[in-house]
A = this chain, B = another copy of it.
Amino acid sequence: MRNRILKVLKDYDLDEIKIGTLGSHSALNILKGAKDEGFETVCICRPKERIIYESFNVADFIIEVSDFKELLNESLQERLIEENVILIPHGSFNAYIGNLDRIRVPFFGNRELMIWETDRAKQREWLERAGLKMPRSLKPEEIKGIAIVKYHGAMGGKGYFLITGKDDFYAKFEELKREGFVKSLEDVEIQEYIVGANVYLSFFYSPMNERIELIAIDRRYEPVDGLGRIPAEIQIKSKVQPTYTVIGNFPIVLRESLLVKALESAKAVVEVSKEIAYPGIVGPFCLEAVFDDNAEMHVFEISARIVAGTNVGIPNSPYSYILWGENMYMGRRIAREIKVAIEKDALGEIVY
């Protein structure tokens, strides 16, 4: 598979490389970053989202599609390849397309790891092999304290909910069953709920510089954050239960001593990635963590590509500034890596 992509790349005109992505998720970040590094940009975009990319004037070329799945069409791929486009994948590639292995256009990064990312079991394997502490998966009998229940019908965290014990679980589970959302226990995942401070750590692994860079840190903003503004009595009387649908992100900084664990975890994740999917992680990845009462870090997810939370770090974050001393943010960091790889004639090392 990778060889097939590298073969396509071989015919690219290195003086005419364009950077492209789907118009969604973190495309503003990616496209602006590419322009800051001097690349021409291509935005593959649905009619309804066109207003975003036109308003911000980040796309030199807009290719309109009625569905992102059109990226699977040979004709569109042919066109992108002719234009020497390197695609920067983001969350919408997995969410709207799937079958990433059917796309011949070179991706920045390692698409095999993006596929790993979509499989909860493989994700857990990756993180546990890296020695990270994860919230435990529980059987109903094992529920102590608070647990979070996830089920397949729940898109993007929308239908996740908290419970406090076995009985509480079964009551809500029966309700879900009655409403047809789930059929059996196998349709739900019960996970230990770590109470604490959510922290999303966005790193960049640079094969060109052979180093891991911390680029930005954010905390998600969700309707469930509205709970904290409703008096407990009103919450109980109204039985309100807001969801985890992502609405936005806050920039944050992390207590300096906790960077040790964060950086060591990133390093371990990069090392394991080389074993599970050659050549391992390239470019952006995000560790999604909770720090508990003892400031211990629990990682509950990994994203093997740019996350939208990095938008908080445009044009810089405290961390990217300390490292780079200039405006640096994830989209630009990606483009910078491509630029350096072109100069070194080493694009094959960062593309898959």
Q: Which residues of A line the B interface, CB within 8 A?
A: 24-29, 32, 36, 48-49, 51-52, 55-58, 145-146, 158, 162-165, 168, 195-199, 211-214, 217, 219, 221-238, 240-243, 245-260, 263-264, 267, 290-295, 308, 311-316, 318-319, 321-323, 325, 327
Interface contact A253-B248, CB-CB below 8 Å:
yes
Q: DSSP class of A's interface residues: helix, strand, loop or mixed?
A: mixed
CA distance A164 to B232 in the complex (A): 12
Query: Considering the chains assembled together, what is the distance between the CA atoms of A238 and B143 in angstroms?
Result: 11
Cβ-defined contact, B223 with A55, below 8 A: no
The 8 closest A-B pairs by CB, nearest first: A228-B228, A232-B232, A314-B318, A197-B247, A232-B235, A196-B223, A253-B311, A164-B237
Contact call B253/A223, Cβ cutoff below 8 A: no
A315 to B223, CA, bound (A): 29
Scoring A48, A198, A231, A312 by chain B CB atoms within 10 A of each residue's CB, the highest score goes to A231
- Tell me if A248 and B197 are in contact (CB < 8 A): yes
In the bound complex, how far is the Cα of B232 from the Cα of A241, in angstroms?
10
A158, A223, A313 interface centre (most CB from chain B within 10 Å): A223
CB neighbours (8 Å) of A196 from chain B are: 223, 226, 242, 247
Contact A195–B318 (Cβ < 8 Å) = no
What's the Cα separation between A190 and B202 when bound, in Å? 40
Tell whether, in the assembled complex, residue B226 and residue A195 are in contact, meaning their CB atoms are under 8 Å apart: yes
